[in-house]
């Protein structure tokens, strides 16, 4: 939902360079600033350059691994649920209803539930939580994307002698691509945010810096962490937008 709005808003402003410029400005400002001010030992530890770099790397790992996994699971599941067979007819509607209601599920709830249920903290439990949390939105977008394909287009394809598989590959999927891509981009943004909160279950990443700043009452650290994670989110959303434009079939 945020993705599609960013999309139209970004395009109507016309300036494709506004976002990268903003992101670069934030990152440069943060580094200039933490090098300019006097830091105490706690701040120095939290804001050491290799600490920041490894936090960024860890954050990107969390987002990329979880997004790739969830796409690999949710998109085929969504396609299966739009096939006209008995199983999908029985399961489709309730799953879509759950997926719609799923918007109210709190990400922190999923993270904590997994932690306390399995008594497990760290990187992989976090990946599991992120996949679980983003699964429903992507599943929903896939189903909606395929079902919104004009019935008459499919009919004319069948009328020309295309097989079911051919219709899916040549007609339904290409036409559904924009909606699915928008869903993936949304999942990316959601995952950057949820991965930040996951610092509470020892996932690592930029959340450590923000949370460290909160706990240690170091507003310099807090601001640096918050700005960097905001820049990362904007950058990933921006790249997602570029990929969306590139991967969208021509003519749509």
Q: Which residues bind another protein (CB under 8 A)?
A: 1-2, 5-6, 8-10, 12-14, 18, 22, 101, 103-110, 112-113, 115-117, 119, 121, 189, 192-193, 196-197, 199-201, 207, 210-211, 213-214, 219, 222-223, 225-227, 229-230, 233-234, 237
User: In terms of CB distance, is 171 or 240 closer to another protein?
Assistant: 240
* Closer to another protein by Cβ: residue 175 or 226: 226
Q: 174: burial class by Cβ within 10 Å (0-12, 13-18, 19+)?
A: middle
Pick the closer one to another protein by CB: 14 or 251.
Answer: 14
Q: Cα(188)–Cα(170) distance, rounded to whole angstroms? A: 27
DSSP 38-78: ---HHHHHHT-HHHHHHHHHHHHHHHHHHHHHHHHHHHHHH
Name the minimum Å distance from CB 101 to another protein.
7
Minimum distance from CB of 214 to another protein (Å)? 6
Q: Which is nearer to another protein, 82 or 126 (CB)?
A: 126
**In terms of DSSP H, where are the helices of 122-218?**
123-147, 151-159, 164-166, 173-197, 207-215
Q: How far apart are CA 40 and CA 184, in angstroms?
A: 41
Q: Minimum CB separation from another protein for residue 150, in Å?
A: 23
Residue 79: CB minimum distance to another protein, A: 27
Q: Please, what is the minimum distance in Å from the beta carbon of residue 199 to another protein? A: 8
Greatest alpha-carbon pair distance for the chain in Å reads 74
As a whole number of Å, the CA-based R_g of the chain is 21
Residue nearer to another protein on the CB measure, 167 or 192: 192
102, two tokens: 């799923």
């Amino acid at each position: 939902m945020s993705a599609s709005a960013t999309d139209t808003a970004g395009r109507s402003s016309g300036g494709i360079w506004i976002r990268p410029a903003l992101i670069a400005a934030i990152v440069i400002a943060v580094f200039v600033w933490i090098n300019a001010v006097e830091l105490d030992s706690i701040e120095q530890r939290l804001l050491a350059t290799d600490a920041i770099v490894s936090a960024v790397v860890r954050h990107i790992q969390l987002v990329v691994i979880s997004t790739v996994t969830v796409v690999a699971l949710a998109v085929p599941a969504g396609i299966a649920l739009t096939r006209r067979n008995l199983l999908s007819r029985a399961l489709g509607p309730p799953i879509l209803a759950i997926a719609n209601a799923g918007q109210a599920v709190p990400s922190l709830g999923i993270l904590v539930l997994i932690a306390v249920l399995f008594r497990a903290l760290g990187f992989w439990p976090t990946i599991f939580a992120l996949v679980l949390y983003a699964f429903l939105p992507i599943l929903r977008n896939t189903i909606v994307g395929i079902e919104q394909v004009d019935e008459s287009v499919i009919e004319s394809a069948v009328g020309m002698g295309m097989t079911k598989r051919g219709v899916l590959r040549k007609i339904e999927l290409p036409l559904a691509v924009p909606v699915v891509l928008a869903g993936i981009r949304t999942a990316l943004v959601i995952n950057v945010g949820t991965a930040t909160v996951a610092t509470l279950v020892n996932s690592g990443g930029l959340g450590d810096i923000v949370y460290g700043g909160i706990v240690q009452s170091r507003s310099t650290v807090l601001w640096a962490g918050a700005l960097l994670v905001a820049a990362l989110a904007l950058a990933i959303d921006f790249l997602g937008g570029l990929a969306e434009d590139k991967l969208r079939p021509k003519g749509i």
